[in-house]
Amino acid sequence: MKNDYITGADKSLKEVIKDVNLMPLLKSAVTACASDVMVEDTEGKILCRHGGPVKEAVFTIKQPMYLEGEVAGHIVITGDYEKKTRIRATAELLSEVLKIILQSNLKTIPATDTHKTVVNRSYEELLETNRQLKLSEVRHRELANTLEKEVQYRKDELKHAHAKLLHQEKIASIGQLAAGIAHEINNPLGFISSNINTLKQYVSKFREMLLFYRSAFEKEGLSSEDREASKQKWKNLKLDFIFPDVEDLVRESLAGAERVKKIVSDLKGFSHIDEANEADIDIKSEIERTLNVLTHEIPEDAEIVRDYQDIPAFFCNPAHICQVFFNIILNALQAKKEGLKLIIAARCLSNLIRIDFSDNGPGIPENIRNRIFDPFFTTKEVGTGTGMGLNVAYEIINSYGGAIEVESEAGKGATFSILLPLPQKVDDVSVR
């Protein structure tokens, strides 16, 4: 706004506007964008006002008004911070209109007829200003609608990107499991295959011996030579060793098959491939299932201590929670190759479930502690970590209204604590 000075009699702002009805102008400003519009003198005394205080985040602009080259008061407009552009535009329009009114009133105070003429002209200008304000309101409303659609589009994009990251981390976890699971399955499959080959040889010898007996019994009787030959054949075929060994081979093979079955069952349970929806889960069972699929990652001399208290079921997507346990436990198992001690504690507090994973590894340096949940941040060598494990765990727990806390001291290990809120109960009914 240009500071056009008003010349005339030595009048205060209050005297100049006392006979002017400014309410239509102030109401128009409130209708356009503002929550509160007022005219005040240099001492801050309110001379005219429409609207009221705003409790939410606000934006305020204070525009000076001049009489005879000096500041005589201010126009103060307050409104929603998101409408600051419209508020500035309204302030400029309002100041121009008030400038005209002040000029007219100050010049026409001595003459009544002239005063009436100026008031009529000012009213017409006020109507024009109001029309422009309404047009501006329409334009800004259209802009707001466009902006709202853009914000929703970006939110949908972020949601899609997050879901994609979850899927990619799941694929990365399964890929990491593949080598270990293959090793775990190959061990029992190896001796099952070996046992079956041995049984095949044994069956061949049984068949040879049975055919010998059949041939001998088809005769009228066994001669002493036949009896001696059968004894020698029995000895040559080592049947005294084979008979008890068959039982061992079958028992070992069945045990190996059960081992493979359990590995597949644990892997299927971990992935929860048949459970796409949310359900009540047993936290302790899911932790144990995750430990089972990570057997190949557990160092031989590692000590895993379990401290489970009675905790209620938790309603969630089982695959998501297993993914969290997998990422945190895998980090702990890889923290120390020798002498690892991992303590897993689960307990129920007043209104939440707390699960602690404590290891005696090297700990987390203080200078990176606030970055460990950032996407793609990793301290592992290139090709050995995606940098998404802890970020995905954090996002999953956060989506259930929970939190992950970290305590660590260099050289003294680290503790990751998962906090999951329990549903509130109203008259013995759980409200999720």
Beta bridge partners of 62: 76
Whether residue 102 is found in the same domain as residue 49 = yes
265 in a structural domain: no
Given a cut of 60, whether residue 273 has pLDDT beyond it is no
The more confident residue out of 342 and 54 is 342
Q: What is the DSSP string of 31-97?
A: HHT-SEEEEEETT--EEEEEE----SSEEEEEEEEEETTEEEEEEEEEEEGGGHHHHHHHHHHHHHH
Whether residue 245 is found in the same domain as residue 283 = no
Q: Any idea what DSSP says for residue 349?
A: -
Given a cut of 80, whether residue 202 has pLDDT beyond it is no
At 368 the three-state DSSP class reads helix
Q: What is the pLDDT of residue 300?
A: 86
Tell how strand 46-51 and strand 424-426 pair up: unpaired
> 71's torsion region: left (phi>0), alpha (psi -120 to 50) or beta?
beta
Place of tokens 């702002």: 13
For 70-110, the pLDDT digits (tens) are: 777 888 888 888 888 888 888 888 877 877 777 777 666 55
Q: What is the pLDDT of residue 266?
A: 62
At 335 the three-state DSSP class reads coil
C-alpha torsion angle, residues 109, 113, 115, 116 (rounded to 10) = 150
Percent of the chain with pLDDT strictly greater than 90 = 14
100 in a structural domain: yes
Whether residue 204 is found in the same domain as residue 174 = yes
120 in a structural domain: no
Given a cut of 90, whether residue 342 has pLDDT beyond it is yes
Q: What is the pLDDT of residue 19?
A: 73
Residue 30's alpha-carbon distances to 66, 123, 145, 311, in angstroms, are: 23, 18, 20, 56
Which of 317, 346, 328, 322 has its CA nearest to residue 391?
328
Whether residue 91 is found in the same domain as residue 174 = no
118 in a structural domain: no
The more confident residue out of 41 and 282 is 282
Per-chain mean pLDDT for the chain: 77
Q: What is the pLDDT of residue 13?
A: 78
Mean pLDDT of 370-380: 74
Q: What is the pLDDT of residue 1?
A: 44
Q: Any idea what DSSP says for residue 219?
A: S
Which of 413, 401, 235, 291 has its CA nearest to residue 340?
413
Mean pLDDT of 144-169: 72
268 in a structural domain: no
Place of tokens 């005769």: 219
Cα–Cα distance for residue pair 307/89, rounded to 1 Å: 65
CATH number reported for the structural domain that contains residue 390 in this entry:
3.30.565.10
Give me Rg for the CA atoms of the chain: 42
Whether residue 39 is found in the same domain as residue 95 = yes
Whether residue 299 is found in the same domain as residue 202 = no
Complete edge-to-edge strand list for the sheet that includes strand 46-51: 46-51, 36-41, 70-80, 58-67
Q: What is the pLDDT of residue 405?
A: 92
Given a cut of 90, whether residue 348 has pLDDT beyond it is yes
Which of 117, 126, 70 has its CA nearest to residue 96?
126
Give exposure, 403-420, as e/b (b: 16+ Cβ within 10 Å): ebeeebeeeebbbbbbbb
3-state secondary structure 265-277: HHHHHHHCCCCCC
Cα–Cα distance for residue pair 402/422, rounded to 1 Å: 10
The more confident residue out of 53 and 72 is 72
Whether residue 250 is found in the same domain as residue 290 = no
Whether residue 233 is found in the same domain as residue 336 = no
298 in a structural domain: yes
- How many CB atoms sit inside 10 A of residue 312's CB? 13
Cβ–Cβ under 8 Å, residues 102 and 48: no
Cα–Cα distance for residue pair 28/75, rounded to 1 Å: 14
Mean pLDDT of 9-18: 71
Cα–Cα distance for residue pair 29/414, rounded to 1 Å: 59
Whether residue 179 is found in the same domain as residue 295 = no
Q: What is the pLDDT of residue 307?
A: 95
Given a cut of 70, whether residue 270 has pLDDT beyond it is no
Cα–Cα distance for residue pair 323/329, rounded to 1 Å: 10
Cβ–Cβ under 8 Å, residues 354 and 341: no
CA–chain centroid gap for 340, Å, is: 30
Q: What is the pLDDT of residue 2?
A: 44
Whether residue 416 is found in the same domain as residue 358 = yes
270 in a structural domain: no
Whether residue 100 is found in the same domain as residue 179 = no
Confidence of residue 419 (pLDDT cuts 50, 70, 90): very high
Cα–Cα distance for residue pair 191/31, rounded to 1 Å: 84
Given a cut of 70, whether residue 336 has pLDDT beyond it is yes
pTM for the model stands at 0.46
Total structural domains in the chain?
A: 3
Mean pLDDT of 259-270: 66
Given a cut of 90, whether residue 31 has pLDDT beyond it is no
- How many CB atoms sit inside 10 A of residue 188's CB? 20
Beta bridge partners of 314: 281
Domain residues for 82? 13-110
135 in a structural domain: no
Q: What is the pLDDT of residue 248?
A: 77
CATH number reported for the structural domain that contains residue 104 in this entry:
3.30.450.30
| 32's tokens | 């356009």
For 395-411, the pLDDT digits (tens) are: 889 989 999 999 988 88
Whether residue 294 is found in the same domain as residue 421 = yes
Say how many Å lie between the first and final Cα of the chain, rounded: 56
